[in-house]
Amino acid sequence: MGLNYLLPLKKEILESLWIITPEHKVAAQIGDKLELTCSTIGCESPSFSWRSQLDKPLGGSVNIMGNSCILTMDPVGIENEHEYLCSAFCDNVKKEKSIKVDVYSFPSDPVIETSTPLNVGEKASITCMVPKVFPSERLMMQLAKDGSVLYRKDFNQEGITETTETKSLTLTFIPTFEDIGKEITCVAELPIDEMEFEPKKRQTSQRLIGPQNTNITVSSSNRTMQGETLMLICRTTSNPPARIVWGKELEDSSVQHIIDNDTLIIPHTQMSDSGLFICEAINDATNKTERTTVVISVEELSVEYGPRNTTVSVTPSTTVREGGAVTMTCTSYGNPSPKISWTKHLISGESHFLSEDATLTINNVKTEDLGLYECEGVNQFGRERKTVDLIVEVPPKDTVLSVLPSDTVKEGDSVTFSCTSEGIPAVQIILRKKTGGADTVLVSESGRYTIYGARLEDAGMYECESSNELGQQFKNIMLDVKGHGILMTFSEKGHMSEGWANMLFF
User: 308: which DSSP letter?
Assistant: E
Between the alpha carbon of residue 304 and those of residues 224, 311, 472, 504, the distances in Å are 17, 20, 57, 99
* pLDDT value of position 175: 79
Q: How far apart are CA 503 and CA 468, in angstroms?
A: 55
Per-residue pLDDT at 501 exceeds 60: no
User: Domain with 426 in it: what CATH number?
Assistant: 2.60.40.10
* pLDDT value of position 117: 67
Write down the pTM of the prediction.
0.46
Q: Are residues 228 and 289 in the same domain?
A: yes
* pLDDT value of position 34: 92
3-state class (DSSP) for residue 100 = strand
In a domain, 366, yes or no: no
Amino acid identity at 506: F
349-379 pLDDT, tens per residue?
899 999 999 999 999 999 999 999 999 999 9
* pLDDT value of position 493: 46
Full residue range of the structural domain in which residue 41 is found: 4-104
In a domain, 442, yes or no: yes
Torsion of CA 133, 138, 142, 148, to 10 degrees: -140
In a domain, 331, yes or no: no
- Look at residues 207, 240, 274 and tell me which one is the last residue of a structural domain: 207
Q: Are residues 8 and 94 in the same domain?
A: yes
Q: Are residues 181 and 271 in the same domain?
A: no
3-state class (DSSP) for residue 429 = strand
Q: Are residues 202 and 229 in the same domain?
A: no
- Which whole number is the average pLDDT over 117-141? 88
In a domain, 371, yes or no: no
In a domain, 19, yes or no: yes
Q: How far apart are CA 99 and CA 47, in angstroms?
A: 19
Q: How far apart are CA 234 and CA 278, in angstroms?
A: 10
Amino acid identity at 158: E
Residue closest to 1 by CA, chosen among 79, 102, 123, 87: 102
In a domain, 458, yes or no: yes
Q: Are residues 215 and 141 in the same domain?
A: no
11-65 pLDDT, tens per residue?
443 333 333 344 578 999 999 999 998 888 777 788 888 898 777 888 899 998 8
Confirm if 45 and 12 have CB atoms less than 8 A apart: no
- Look at residues 172, 207, 242 and tell me which one is the last residue of a structural domain: 207
Q: Are residues 80 and 137 in the same domain?
A: no
In a domain, 188, yes or no: yes
Q: Are residues 199 and 286 in the same domain?
A: no
Q: Are residues 186 and 258 in the same domain?
A: no
What is the end-to-end Cα distance of the chain in Å, rounded? Answer: 104
- Look at residues 207, 228, 243 and tell me which one is the last residue of a structural domain: 207
Side-chain half-sphere exposure of 313, counting CA atoms within 13 A: 8
Q: Are residues 127 and 159 in the same domain?
A: yes
Q: Are residues 32 and 92 in the same domain?
A: yes
Q: Are residues 8 and 69 in the same domain?
A: yes
In a domain, 341, yes or no: no
Residue closest to 5 by CA, chosen among 43, 42, 32, 41: 41
* pLDDT value of position 53: 78
Per-residue pLDDT at 189 exceeds 80: yes
Q: Are residues 140 and 79 in the same domain?
A: no
Domain count across the chain: 4
Q: How far apart are CA 198 and CA 303, in angstroms?
A: 67
